[in-house]
Structures are given as structure tokens and as C-alpha cells.
Amino acid sequence: MSAITNILTIGTTVLPTPTGYTVTRNDLDGSGTQRSESGVLHRDRLRAGIYSIEAEWEGIPVGTLNTLTAALITNAKLTVTFFDLTTGTVQTKQMYAANPSASVSVPGNSTDDMKCSYTVSLVEF
């Protein structure tokens, strides 16, 4: 088994390895998708296998939080290279960052003592 060195890269920025990482693939159904009165699904699938990634980092310093924020929310469209857990391959997709969230615990009186958490969803265009 080979080592995975870059789980998540935005453009040319290699992000720190997340502490939590989930890859999901979804289908996009059209407005014609519905169930009949007998319960049979009539599906109007427009697109299959749309990637979304949930990534989280726990216990990171403020500087790392700033790196993540700069890489993930500066641009509306991101080139994301990631290890796809569903196929065991590396993929590159155009994505956007949704619902970025940062939190912090402050055990002391300095930003040097802060331990931050950051979560973000990346969704394929």
C-alpha cells in the first residue's frame, strides 16, 4: 500500500492533513423526478456522481486557520485535488467552499495559546 502525501490541495496550496475527511458522491435529479401513486419512482437523473467533501481540522494554531481560510474562501471557484475515498484514486475537480466554520478555545491570554477548529464543505460545480 502506498502512502498518501497530499489528501487535499487547493490550486497549488497543499492543505494540512485534515483530522476528519469524508467524500460523498451524489446524483442531481430534475424536477420530473417523482413517485407515482403506486410508489414507483420515475427518475429524471440529470447528472451522476457529483463530489462533495466534508473536511475538518481540530486543534490547529491560528496561523494554520489563516492558511485554510485564505485557500478555501478567497475564490468563488476552486481547483481541488483530493484523494477520493470512493475510488482510491486522486481526482481534480472544480468546486466551491460551502459553510466554512471556525471555532476556538482560549486556554490562555495569548493567540499563541489558541487551539482552533475549522470545518468546510467542498462541493463540485
5 pLDDT above the threshold of 80: no
CATH code of 8-124, in short, is 2.40.30
Instruction: Encode pLDDT of 41-81 as tens digits.
Output: 999 999 999 999 999 999 999 889 989 999 998 899 999 99
Please check the confidence at residue 89 and state whether its pLDDT lies above 90: yes
HSE on the CB side for 92, CA within 13 Å?
A: 6
pLDDT score recorded for residue 114: 85
* pTM for the whole structure: 0.85
Structure confidence at residue 74 (pLDDT): 85
pLDDT-derived band of residue 19, with 50, 70 and 90 as boundaries?
very high
Give yes or no for residue 20 having a pLDDT over 70. yes
pLDDT band at residue 87 under the 50/70/90 scheme: very high
